[in-house]
A and B are shown apart, each in its own frame.
Chain A
Amino acid sequence: MDEELRKFTDNPEGNDQELNIIDQHLKSMRIEQPSVNFTQKVMSNLHRASAATLGLPSRNKMLMLAGILVAIGVAILLIAGGAFNNVTSITVDQNIIPNDQLREYIPSIPFNGKLIINIVILMNLALAFMILDRAVLKPWFEKRRHA
């Protein structure tokens, strides 16, 4: 397969001038060399955490984590106080949509408010654990490994 494609690029279809120019240029391409102190730089940074894996700055991660925990706390307090127990349906208010625009009766949409809030809290908890793992636990274990 390799040979087949290489033969093909040696003899581009027709006399397509542009393809010839491109083939000549690409074949004359050389390997680029980094700066002379490349190796020293890598060697001196071997135990530095990789810049690409750092992701969000840790301050932002901690703020995000705190935000999620506060949101969960507030939601738990509201649930404990029974704030969502009566939220069981959505009704489209006839005052918001004028009657002349309504040709058909819009039914109310029943749902279990408590269940939905529980699902939202569960998803928040999962997100909080993921952030806790990436922002706190992983860097901490990495540090301990290299200590």
Chain B
Amino acid sequence: MTDENSLIDRIIAGEQQLYAELINRYKGYAFTIALKILQNRPEAEEAAQDAFIKAFNSLSKFNREAKFSTWLYRITFNTAISYKRKSKVIFQSIDNVHIAQRHEGEGNVEHEDKKRFIELAMRKLNDADRLAVNLFYLQEFSLEEIAEITSMQANTVKVRVHRARQRLAEELKGILQKEALTL
């Protein structure tokens, strides 16, 4: 933390090249957060880059009450949300999504299908719920940190994670039933 603070001080003092160290440290999570919201890799990459640029331009305003990472992820979350609002996303109901049938062997295919079904169910969640559940399962963030990133109360995050799991289970059940009928 102190090491990070002194690094930030040096960047503010003019050693801008040191910012690359912070980018390398946090780009994975920042990109993951943007990706979970935008569901599109090129857009998520652009949003994450934009978030790093915004953070750099506001570095002198960072008050160090929270961790740098939490502050950065909050900027990333807000940037991704504003990207989502701007982009003309065509929403497609998962009820209308045609799930391709495969006749290959079981095992991997079944695993891949499950993964795909869960991704479809995930899209049904709203951005805050999806991000809360993803961050929670990454096991890296406490509920308090997730709350800070998403500008919610810790209790609200807890409820959202719980509710999002239930919703995912219901959606998955629906998809699996539908899939069974098409076989």
Interface residues of A (CB under 8 A from B): 1-2, 5, 8-9, 12, 16, 18-19, 21-23, 25-27, 29, 31-35, 38-39, 41-43, 45-46, 48, 50-53
Contacts and interface: CB of A to CB of B under 8 A. Distances in A.
Contact of A39 (B24, B47, B118, B143): B24
Contacts of A9: 136-137, 165
B23 A38 contact: yes
A19 B83 contact: no
A29 B134 contact: yes
A46 B19 contact: yes
Contacts, number: 111
List 3 tightest A-B contacts by C-beta distance, closest first: A26-B137, A18-B169, A34-B31
B45 A48 contact: no
A15 B121 CA distance: 20
Contacts of A33: 27-28, 31
Contacts of B149: none
A117 to B, nearest CB: 35
A41 B115 CA distance: 32
Chain B binding surface, main DSSP class: helix
A141 B175 CA distance: 54
Chain B interface size, under 10 / 10 to 19 / 20 to 34 / 35 or more: 35 or more
Contact of B49 (A18, A26, A31, A38): A38
Contacts of B139: 27
Contacts of B52: 42
Contact of A18 (B57, B79, B173): B173
B50 A50 contact: yes
Interface stretch (B2-10, B62-70, B95-103, B154-162): B154-162
